[in-house]
Structures are given as C-alpha cells and as structure tokens.
Structure 1
Amino acid sequence: MLHLIVAFLLVAAHGAFATPCHFESQGEGRVAAIVDARSVRLDDGREIRLTGIEQTATTKQALTSLLSGRDVTLRSVDDTPDRYGRQGALVFIGENDTSVQAMLLAQGDAVVSAEIVDKDCATALMTSEAAARRQKMGSWADPSAIKNAESPDDILAEIGRFTVVEGKVLSVRQAGATTYLNFGRNWTRGFAVTISKRTLPAFESAGIALKSLENRRIRVRGWVEGNTGPRIDVRLVGQVELLGASEPTGVRP
C-alpha cells in the first residue's frame, strides 16, 4: 500500500523533482564575487540572493570558502528579481545534488529563514539545520544561540536581528486583526508572537489551530521588534515548530 501511495504522489506532482529543492533551472554561471553573507555576483553581472537562509556570524566566510570562483547552477520556482535587482535562488555547485544552502545549514553556518514554502524542500533544509543543532556545530555551539522565551530582555537585545526563540505559550489572545501568542504573564513586557488575520488561512491549511498552541512548547524564528516587550511577527507557517513537552532545547528537526 505504501508503494502505491508514493507512486500516486509522484504522478500527482506532475514529475516533481526526485531530490528536494531541485526546482526548475534558472541558469548557470561562475561566481565572480561574494557580495555579502547571502548574495553573490556572477561573471555575467547577475546578483544572486541565496533563498531559504538567514545569516550567522560565520556565513560570509563559509560562503566564500564554498563558492569563490565556482561554477554554479541556479534553481527556483521563477527568476523574478527582488526590489534590489537580486535573483533569488537555491545555488548548486556544478553537478552537486545538495544546495549550498543545505551545506551552510549542515555546518551550522546559517539558519533556516522559513521563506521556502515547498514542503519537501523546507523539510530538507530544516533537517540540515537540525543535524547541526544536535551536533552543536557552528553557531549552535553557543548556548545562547536559541533564546529562552522566559528571558525577554535577552530577546529584546536582538532587535533588528533574525532570532530563534523557544518557550511555552501561556495564552493565545486576539486583539482586532492580530492574534498574540503570549509567553509571559505581563503582556506588555513579556515576549510574544504576533500573527495577522491574513496569515490564519495558512495555519488552518496546515491543520494548526492557534488556540491549540496554549500550554505547548514551540520554537519560533523571525525578526525581533518591539519597544517594551520583544515581538516576532509570524507571516509563514514554517516560522513555528511544535516541540515535545520533554524535548531538550534545540534538538528537534
């Protein structure tokens, strides 16, 4: 029966890629320069932004070691440039089946951004990150790499940075068009996750009722903002991971 189900899914996907993240090829080129921790410039002048990851302190150095002067293939669902003129893509070295993003994540030299919505690809990237967390590689060797939701001041110090936070949701409240996942009893100073009404259908499609997150441990990732209490605005389902009640910090895939 399992074989029949797998076969059906392959047919339904209309020839989906056998390897996760192997989207349609969007061209090739040679890396002429490393622009920053997530962007490279090819010899034909195109600037490429590596989708699916956010940087750590070691990302640029690792990216330089991996890509300087290398021939690469670009894969993505489309080649539409962002507002800065950069083409977003998963980057593959030569004929390698593993993306550069997955390599960086597996080394602990990057963090999953959750922007890739393709389920298989997103799972593959999360798995690479989880392996690095378990082995405390790269940035995960730092005990403070994952912030504790019960320490709002530590999270507030990360304003303007992409941050990973873990903790127990104490309450779920709605105010206007925004749902709040509160991690502290003081709503104004404690850490909270905000989710807008327009994002709710994505959680519903994923089978996640926000109210069901009360008293659950979760891991959330995103940009920290806020003046009194720290906030992370969740716009993608992949920014939230459910954790088991007895799981050690930072190890769940």
Structure 2
Amino acid sequence: MRLLHLTVAILLIAGRTAFATPCQFEAQGEGRVAAVVDARSVRLDDGREIRLAGIETTATTKQALTSLLAGRDVTLRGSNDTPDRYGRQSALVFIGESDTSVQAMLLAHGDAMVSAEITDKDCAAALMTSEAEARRQKKGSWADLSAIKNAESSDDILAGIGRFVVVEGKVLSVRQAGAMTYLNFGRNWTRGFAVTISKRTLPAFEGAGITLKSLESKRIRVRGWVEGSTGPRIDVRLLGQVELLGANEPTGVKP
C-alpha cells in the first residue's frame, strides 16, 4: 500500500511538472498598483516602479493596462529583480493569484507586441502564442493592415524609424561583412530593408540549429527597432526576434 501511495505521489508530481504553467518564475514580491506611469510601467503603493517585461507597446497599451491594473493587487515574477538604470524593476506581472500574466492578457487582445527579451523557451513560446492568436483574429492593433510591414516596402519601414515594428518578407541574400551578417530583402543593398546580426549573436542561432545562410530564399518574420538613414535596418540581438514562416503562410499567422 505504501508503494502504491508513493507511486501515485510521484505521478502527481510528474503531472504537475509536465503541465506546469509557463512564465512561473521566482516570486519577486507583491504590491498594489497605485498608478500607471506609462504604457509599460506601473508604480506600486510602496513606491517601486515596475516595468512589464517581455512586451513592446502599441497605441492601446496604456489604456488596456490601466483597465487591468489600476488599484489591483499584483504578484511579480522574474529571473532577476535588479532595477535598471532608471530604478525600475523588470518583471512579469500577475493579478492576485492568477496563473496568466498581464503581459499575456495584453498580447491576447492585440494591445501589445512580443519584445523577444524573455529567453526562457517555454515562457517565450507562451507569449508568442498569445500574440499569434491576436494576429490571427485581427484583434486590437492587428486589425490595422499596416501593423505588419512588408519587407519590400522599405520606405514604409523607414517611416517607422526609432519605433518597434514587425516585418515580414523573403530573404533574397545573406552576406557577411566583417563581424556582421546581413539578411537582405531588397536587391539594392543600400536602400532596401535588411536585418543585421553580429558575430556575438551567432551562438544563439547555432544552438537552435539554424545557420544564417540557410535563411536565404526563406520567408521570415522579424521584430525590432528600426534604424538607418538611406535604407531601414533592424538589428537582431535575440533569437526570438526572428521567426521562420511557412511558404504559403498568410500575413500575420504563426505556423
């Protein structure tokens, strides 16, 4: 009988591990939201300023965040509670005892975009799934057809310089120059859209079994901050900024 009970206990523990809710990092404290500072930061009643990790904002993020969090008790979770240079603590935020992060809620309603800064594989996948569902259903910001930029429309992308954008298109060529690899989406290398990936980022791709040269002629989705002057660029520093798309996949749908 003791053996049976032990076996059942082991199975229960294994089951909980197998179906564990993603993004359940170490608790970093609790508090009540006293104010929404901006589209991705809140201030707790003890004075701490919390920056929502894992997302970038849209035009509707602040309003949605206010509706979700104003006056609510929250739990903070993350892998590092060291404040940034502005004194903000970066964390995933959970309302009360909820297992779903506020970030996932914002993403699921199209009120935010995944930033790719969460490196935990399961958590990153869960956040991306929330965003993908909103894209699929054209919710929130994804209802705007221009929310995802066409890699062939370099002028349209360049108009978003200094902003976080999502771009989709076919990689026409992969070229290396010094310590930098360029994924070119246009035939005019100086004016067309390109993704830049430094040598120090290569191990992340190699660890995932991806060689940059293999992306040539592939359709990808890339996200990041637009830079450049004559031609728009996105500098990829994290593996999660790049997604391989299916050959016939419609815009805005994750395979």
Which range, TM-score by smaller chain? Answer: over 0.9
Is the counterpart of residue 155 in structure 1 residue 157 in structure 2? yes
1:42 to 25, 41, 44: 44
Q: Secondary structure at the match of 1:69?
A: coil
Map 1:79-158 to 2 at 5 A.
79-158=81-160
Task: Give the Cα–Cα distance (whole angstroms) in 2 for the partners of residues 216 and 18 of structure 1.
Answer: 34
CA RMSD, 1 decimal: 1.4
Quick one: distance in 2 between partners of 1:168 and 1:107? 28
Structure 2 residue matching 1:231: 3-state secondary structure = strand
Aligned-partner Cα distance in 2 for 1:232–1:199:
14
Alignment of 1:45-64 (within 5 A): 45-64=47-66
1:86-107 per-residue CA deviation (whole Å, 9 max, x = no partner) reads: 0000000001110000000000
1:160-171 pair list within 5 angstroms: 160-171=162-173
Q: d(CA) in 2 for partners of 1:78 and 1:229? A: 37
Corresponding letter in the other structure for 1:241: E
Match of 1:71 in 2: 73
What is the alpha-carbon distance in structure 2 between the residues aligned to residue 56 and residue 80 of structure 1? 26
Counterpart of 2:74 in structure 1: which amino acid? V
**Residue identity matched to 1:142:** D
Q: Secondary structure at the match of 1:144?
A: helix
Q: Would you identify which runs of 4 or more consecutive aligned residues in structure 1 move more than 4 Å?
A: none
Percent identity of equivalent pairs: 86
Larger Rg: 2
Separation in 1 of the partners of 2:58 and 2:215?
Answer: 29
Deviations 1:210-249 (A, max 9, x none): 0000000000000000010000000000000000111101
User: What is the CA–CA distance in structure 2 between the aligned matches of 1:132 and 1:229, rounded to whole Å?
Assistant: 30
CA distances 1:58-82 after superposition (whole Å, capped 9, x unpaired): 0000000000000000000121111
The number of aligned residues is 242
Residue 178 (structure 2) pairs with residue 176 (structure 1): yes
1:107·1:138 contact (CA, 8 Å) conserved in 2?
Answer: yes
